[in-house]
């Protein structure tokens, strides 16, 4: 294990031992001077003695702990693609950014448990801002249709959308270079043996740097040992028609792995109502808006979409305005269920500016919303 990793562990351990020692001293003072000889005070004294004993035992266990190999070993991470300048970041570079700590209980979609860890690292957003996102041959003047492709050292990759990084809180997506396992409080012999294989996952070696998506329910997108991050402009074939009044009477679903479908009305599936605080990056707050429609997840499932973390979905209007969503943000995150194709606002059918619209309810900006949805296309980045 790297010298720096041991130093970090020992520093944290010493600080924790110091705090526990101080707590023990305070409890001793309370026991000696704080309790009188009454039945109630004797009960308090007994409880303080028990707490003192537990803290002492915890301090002794901590003193015996050894550092584990849970630290990035200094290999570089490349950021390329639609950026102002390609950059290479080492472990020391990552540590210079403002860092967040997030806890991840890692269960993949196949039901396997991979441990529970607290991860530390900078926000992916900060790294992309450092590289400077810049479209090289733009045919759309916003970054809403950019894909972020993260690849590990074995060539496995996943696709994120620009919006899920920049229109959510930054700590939702971090690049971790340190981890600490969440150790259960009970001794191993007091935990039923059927759970012991899961405890062993806390001893596993984590591959760094690691992409951590804290808000995902399943951990499949939290890729370990990542080697590169590429910002990709897909240049989708989106018609750009100039209209006096933006309007699309119907929309189509097509593309990779789905059956082509055309809708002039939303299908008869469960409807979703969502209340949105409409704040745009350009014009600010426009009030609370009540939208109603169907989940885009359900709509794509109706079209037979395939499970593919390398795919993205482009939603566009007749004038070329568009938004890219990743498969993962729709199907791996609880927030995906709140992304809707709507046809009603404030309890009334929408008639102006198209019959259907996209709402990304958990975004912190309304800029990914698409009015007058005309086309929903699934694109594979394999």
- pLDDT tens by residue, 184-238: 988 888 899 999 999 999 999 999 999 999 999 999 999 999 999 999 999 988 8
Read off the pLDDT of each residue in 85-103 and give the average, rounded to a whole number. 94
pLDDT at 314: 97
- Which residues lie closer than 8 Å to 145 by C-beta, 6 or more apart? 162, 233, 234, 236, 314, 322, 323, 324
Q: Are residues 228 and 82 in the same domain?
A: yes
The answer to whether residue 177 is domain-embedded is: yes
pLDDT band at 57 (very low <50, low <70, confident <90, very high): low
Least confident of 127-131, 208-212, 279-283: 279-283
Q: Are residues 111 and 176 in the same domain?
A: yes
Number of domains the chain contains? 3
pLDDT band at 1 (very low <50, low <70, confident <90, very high): very low
Q: Are residues 53 and 159 in the same domain?
A: no
Pairwise CA distance, residues 277 & 327, whole Å: 25
Question: Angle between the 39-64 and 3-29 helix axes, to the nearest 10 degrees?
Answer: 160
Q: Which structural domain, as residue segments, surrounds residue 14?
A: 3-64
Read off the pLDDT of each residue in 98-125 and give the average, rounded to a whole number. 97
The first and second tokens of residue 300, run together, are: 């794509």
Which domain-ending residue is among 12, 43, 64? Answer: 64
Q: CA 253, 320, 135 angle in degrees (round to 5)?
A: 110
The answer to whether residue 197 is domain-embedded is: yes
Q: Are residues 264 and 123 in the same domain?
A: no
> Residue 195 belongs to a domain with what CATH number?
3.90.420.10
Pairwise CA distance, residues 84 & 127, whole Å: 12
């Amino acid at each position: 294990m790297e010298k720096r990793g041991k130093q970090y562990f020992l520093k944290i351990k010493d600080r924790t031992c110091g705090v526990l020692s101080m707590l023990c001293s305070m409890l001793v003072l309370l026991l000696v001077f704080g309790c009188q000889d009454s039945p109630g005070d004797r009960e308090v004294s007994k409880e303080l003695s028990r707490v003192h004993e537990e803290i002492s035992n915890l301090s002794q266990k901590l003193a015996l702990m050894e550092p584990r190999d849970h630290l990035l070993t200094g290999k570089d991470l490349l950021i390329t693609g639609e950026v102002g300048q390609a950059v290479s970041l080492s472990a020391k570079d990552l540590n210079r950014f403002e860092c967040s700590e997030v806890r991840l209980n890692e269960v993949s979609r196949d039901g396997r448990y991979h441990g529970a860890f607290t991860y530390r690292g900078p926000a992916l957003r900060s790294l992309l801002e450092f590289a400077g996102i810049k479209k090289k041959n733009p045919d759309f003047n916003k970054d809403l249709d950019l894909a972020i492709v993260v690849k590990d050292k074995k060539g496995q990759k996943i696709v994120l959308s620009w919006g899920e990084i920049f229109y959510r809180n930054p700590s939702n997506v971090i690049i971790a270079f340190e981890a600490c396992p969440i150790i259960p409080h009970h001794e191993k012999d007091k935990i039923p043996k059927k759970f012991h294989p899961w405890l062993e996952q806390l001893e596993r070696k984590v591959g760094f740097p690691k992409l951590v998506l804290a808000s995902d329910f399943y951990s499949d997108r939290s890729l370990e040992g990542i080697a590169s991050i590429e910002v990709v402009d897909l240049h989708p074939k989106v018609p750009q028609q100039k209209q006096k009044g933006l309007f699309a009477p119907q929309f189509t679903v097509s593309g990779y792995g789905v059956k082509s479908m055309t809708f002039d009305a939303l299908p008869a599936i469960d409807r979703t109502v969502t209340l949105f605080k409409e704040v745009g990056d350009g014009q600010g707050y426009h009030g609370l808006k009540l939208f109603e429609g169907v989940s885009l997840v359900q709509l794509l499932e109706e079209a037979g979409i395939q499970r593919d973390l390398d795919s993205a979905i482009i939603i566009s209007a007749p004038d070329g305005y568009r938004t890219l969503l990743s498969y993962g943000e729709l199907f791996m995150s609880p927030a995906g269920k709140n992304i809707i194709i709507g046809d009603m606002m404030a309890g009334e059918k929408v008639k102006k500016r198209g019959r259907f619209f996209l709402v990304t309810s958990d975004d912190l900006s309304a800029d990914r919303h698409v009015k007058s949805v005309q086309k929903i296309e699934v694109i594979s980045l394999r």
